[in-house]
Structure 1
Amino acid sequence: MNKPKIGVVGIPGKWSTEVLADALEQRTGHRLVIDLAEVVLDLSGPTLSWRGHDLTALDALVVKKVSPVYGPGMLDRIELLCQAEHCGVRVFSPARSILRLVNRLSCTLALRQADIPMPETVITEEVGEAVAAVRRFGQAVFKPLFSTKARGMTLIDADQPEAQLTAQVAAFKADNPMMYLQRRLALGGQDLGLVFLGGEYLGTYARQAQGESWNTTIHSGGRYASYQPSAELIELARQAQRPFQLDFTTVDVAETDQGPIVFEVSAFGGFRGALEGAGIDAASAYADYVLEALS
């Protein structure tokens, strides 16, 4: 039986993309790392190609990243993956599942509709409404709708003059017309990533803040650590990822004095946190899972 030909959609040269490609190459003898920025869809064929490779001739595409920078343009690239599926290529995770998650607003609404506990959240285009929410919350974290690893996030404190508070909110709105803000919660200096493969729980890692940073991400100087969650926490994360039907994901959870909450479900999942914090070789596990699904 011929081994399947599987392409990895990601960022060439980036660690998580390359280790996934390594794992698949070891199992199939085939290696193809695809940058969606260079994919061409010609509807006169129709053909979907990358550097002369016919992507519709592949058995599967495994998606690690669709862009190095999060933004609305990601949605257009994911539509190309929808076309690959239409042509019979299996995509891991499904393109429509990814579409629901790369926009923070659509992810949040799906979680709330599933009754998943989250921080108090306000979404508005009105500066005055956002200022009022900051006053009500005391402190609020403003988040771009498209971002990862806390990039572009801003902490705004209510304890300042009205003009200064309004100016800070307006400065955020200048780059983010639809403002998304959440009450800042006491997280004890860490939050958690719970890893799932095909809906099955693999393990948990912690992200721990260092120094005076208000957030825990590695991008902001945090570090990964091991963590053993309760059965209740695992079940909460399991329920959070279930509506999205992802093949691989990480659920961002935090324990607060008001109980556990979910921040988001990742469209792609974190390989490095899984490895360094939980000892999980996610690339190998994912490769095995893909091959089993294709068989």
Structure 2
Amino acid sequence: MSGERTALILTERPDWHTPRLVRAIEARGLPCRCVSPRRCGIAAGHTATGLLIPGFEDELPAGVFVRAVGQGSFEQVTLRLGVLHALRDLGVPVYNDARAIERCVDKSMTSFLLTRAGLPTPPALAAQDAEPARRVLERTPDQVLKPLFGAQGRGLLRLDGPEALPDADSVAGVYYLQPFIPPRTEGAWHDRRVFVAGGRAVAAMTRHGKSWVTNVHQGAACEAASADDEPADLAVRAARAVGAGYAGVDLIQDRAGRWLVLEVNSMPAWQGLQRVSAVDIADALAADFVERVNTHDQPRK
């Protein structure tokens, strides 16, 4: 490398988001290099940095923007997160860092941290044995069973009692339950997604679902919403609670009108949100990321 300060964008493929992000970051004077997390590793004693990152063997990136960690075996994902931990330990700004990603990917830890921060969120149970899950279903039969590491609304099951509980193998050995939150108006399925960057809500949308699963990938329609109201404030606090510099926060309103935080996504997509938002979301992300890089002490080689 020539010594020019260069940012690293970790992305699995050149998707809709990545070129927009690259343009926005480079427009602020910071060149970018995109690398798949599958090509990264540890190279202690083999490279000047101790890391295996194509294009960064001799010097560290100025900053790292994590668009994706990617699917893989437990060992592969652990290694990729290890690289992110190492980068942070070497003084490189990582956006979002491994700690935030781990806290958000594990929905039970997100629930724990939201509750600990005093944020309104549904009670949650994560157990490796079926018996605690059965007891919860006996007390409150209408529960949603979620994959602990799930995304995009896949794998959700609504259970109406303990007899509906699946076997442990079908849930990867972990039962993660939250009570079903019925809509304020019967059949009007909707929730809120708030996009947070740099400690502020930059855009928001209401997602109108065809069923109680209101994810865009499950066919929900998007409508612009305020980024300056109670759910937006809760979203900012939720991102702070998990330590995320940027996040997509999902909220829902219960029948009493109270907003509840459901999830915090540390590597959110924003294509659906961008269609209904006047704010350039990639530009907002780039502004916060480049500011963090520029104000950070430069890491040693």
Common fold, TM-score beyond 0.5? yes
User: Greater CA deviation, 25-34 or 80-89?
Assistant: 25-34
Structure 2 residue 107 is matched with structure 1 residue 104: yes
Please give the TM-score of this superposition, normalised by the length of structure 2. 0.84
| Matches of 1:69 and 1:76, distance apart in 2 | 10
Partner residue of 1:227?
A: 225
Partner residue of 1:32?
A: 33
User: Greater CA deviation, 228-237 or 272-281?
Assistant: 228-237
Task: Identify unmatched segments of 5+ residues in structure 1.
Answer: 159-164
Over 3 Å counting, the alpha-carbon distance change for 1:39 and 1:230 in structure 2 is closer
Partner residue of 2:299?
A: none
Deviation at 1:230, TM superposition (A): 6.7
| Matches of 1:101 and 1:72, distance apart in 2 | 19
Deviation at 1:225, TM superposition (A): 1.3
| Matches of 2:274 and 2:73, distance apart in 1 | 24
Q: Deviations over 1:190-216 (max 9, x none)?
A: 111112111112121111102xx2200
Q: Deviations over 1:62-119 (max 9, x none)?
A: 1111114797853442221111122232211233222222211111111111121112
Q: Is the contact made by 2:9 and 2:34 (CA closer than 8 Å) also made in structure 1? A: yes
Task: Identify unmatched segments of 5+ residues in structure 2.
Answer: 295-301
Partner residue of 1:245?
A: 243
Please give the TM-score of this superposition, normalised by the length of structure 1. 0.86
Over 3 Å counting, the alpha-carbon distance change for 1:12 and 1:229 in structure 2 is closer
Structure 2 residue 88 is matched with structure 1 residue 85: yes
Higher relative contact order (CA 8 A, sep 6+): 2
Over 3 Å counting, the alpha-carbon distance change for 1:65 and 1:25 in structure 2 is same
Aligned-pair identity (%): 22
Q: Is the contact made by 2:8 and 2:63 (CA closer than 8 Å) also made in structure 1? A: yes
| Matches of 1:292 and 1:145, distance apart in 2 | 33
Q: Deviations over 1:33-89 (max 9, x none)?
A: 111111121112452223454284211111111114797853442221111122232
Q: Is the contact made by 2:103 and 2:110 (CA closer than 8 Å) also made in structure 1? A: yes
Over 3 Å counting, the alpha-carbon distance change for 1:74 and 1:206 in structure 2 is farther
Give the counterpart letter for 1:197 in structure 2.
A
Structure 2 residue 7 is matched with structure 1 residue 6: yes
Q: Is the contact made by 2:124 and 2:177 (CA closer than 8 Å) also made in structure 1? A: yes
Partner residue of 2:260?
A: 261
Q: Is the contact made by 1:249 and 1:270 (CA closer than 8 Å) also made in structure 2? A: no
Give the counterpart letter for 2:166 in structure 1.
A
Helix, strand or coil for the counterpart of 2:31?
A: coil
Runs of 4+ in 1 over 4 A off after TM superposition: 68-73
- From 90, 100, 113, the equivalent of 2:116 is 113
Give the counterpart letter for 1:206 in structure 2.
T
Give the counterpart letter for 1:249 in structure 2.
A
Q: Deviations over 1:247-282 (max 9, x none)?
A: 211211111113111101111233224312333321
Q: Is the contact made by 1:11 and 1:17 (CA closer than 8 Å) also made in structure 2? A: no
C-alpha root-mean-square deviation of aligned residues, in Å?
Answer: 2.5
Structure 2 residue 228 is matched with structure 1 residue 194: no
Q: Is the contact made by 1:206 and 1:277 (CA closer than 8 Å) also made in structure 2? A: no
Helix, strand or coil for the counterpart of 1:128?
A: helix
Q: Is the contact made by 2:11 and 2:36 (CA closer than 8 Å) also made in structure 1? A: yes
Over 3 Å counting, the alpha-carbon distance change for 1:183 and 1:116 in structure 2 is same
Partner residue of 1:61?
A: 64
Partner residue of 2:135?
A: 132
| Matches of 2:227 and 2:26, distance apart in 1 | 34
Helix, strand or coil for the counterpart of 2:165?
A: helix
Partner residue of 1:169?
A: 165
Deviation at 1:226, TM superposition (A): 1.0
Partner residue of 2:125?
A: 122
